[in-house]
Each structure stands twice: as C-alpha cells, then as structure tokens.
Amino acid sequence: MHSLHTAPTPVRKGVAILLVLVCAIVAVMDKVDRDFDTGLTVVPGILSGTWPNFSVVLITATLLFATNFRMPFRKFVKFSFGAAAGATIYEIAQLWIPFRTFDWLDILASLAGALASIGAARIAFYKRALSE
C-alpha cells in the first residue's frame, strides 16, 4: 500500500523557509500600506485586505517543512484545515472585537491558504513511499 510522507532535505527546508519569509514580508508590507497609505502596493486590489489571512494559514502549515518533523499527508491536510479553522474562528470573533471588522473574503482567503499549502506540500514536500 502506498502512502505519502514528508521527505525533508536541506533544499526543501530552504524552499519552505523562503516561502514563509516571502509571505510574511508581503503581509507586513500590505498591512503597512493599508494602515499608513504609503503608496507601496504589493498586493493587488481585492487581495490586499485578505492577504494576511491567506498567508498566515500558508505560513503555519509550511513551517512544518522547515523542521525535521514528519507527518503523513492526510494529517497534514487536517493540520492545514485546522489552521484555516482557527483563522475563521478569529474572523468570526471580530464581530465582537471593537475596531475590528468581519469579512467573508477573509474566511475565503483562509481556506485558499489551506488549499495552497496542501497543493504546495503535495508537489514539493511529499513523495510516494511504500508503507509496511
């Protein structure tokens, strides 16, 4: 029977760290631009307000690959959707947090981040292995 398992290598760890850094930097730059109107547009249009939700889920899941932690693919899928669920709970909680706003697009961005992390993980970090 075949199952999918992580195959951590220095190159794959480097790719994971690079992806995390790029997402984090773009999220910070987007937040600074929205808060201070710097004119430095790094995320286009409708994605601008939702990028932090997308990237936090993608980063949370991708950080696993920067370590030697091994996780079967099915558990990784659950982990990714768990991160999206956490971001969704926080988004819903914003209904009761002063000076915060609820946005359905943020929930969709969180789910998109989970799907992106699953797709990237399947392509770059998992390989078929015979399990006993």
Closest CA to 58 of 78, 83, 30, 88: 83
- H or E element at residue 130: strand 126-130
Q: In this structure, are residues 72 and 15 in contact, taking their beta carbons and an 8 Å threshold?
A: no
CA separation for the pair 63, 132 (Å, rounded) = 28
Note the pLDDT tens digit of each residue in 43-63. Answer: 777 777 788 888 888 888 888
Q: What is the pTM of this model?
A: 0.80
Q: How confident is the model at residue 132 (pLDDT cuts 50, 70, 90)?
A: very low
CA separation for the pair 118, 74 (Å, rounded) = 10
> Mean pLDDT over residues 107-111, rounded?
95
- The backbone torsions φ and ψ at residue 50, rounded to the nearest 5 degrees and listed phi first, read -100, -10
Lookup: tokens for 90: 């926080």
Q: What pLDDT score was predicted for residue 113?
A: 93
**Beta bridge partners of residue 3, listed in sequence order:** 129
Residue 117 or residue 39, greater confidence? 117
Note the pLDDT tens digit of each residue in 20-44. Answer: 898 889 888 888 888 888 877 777 7
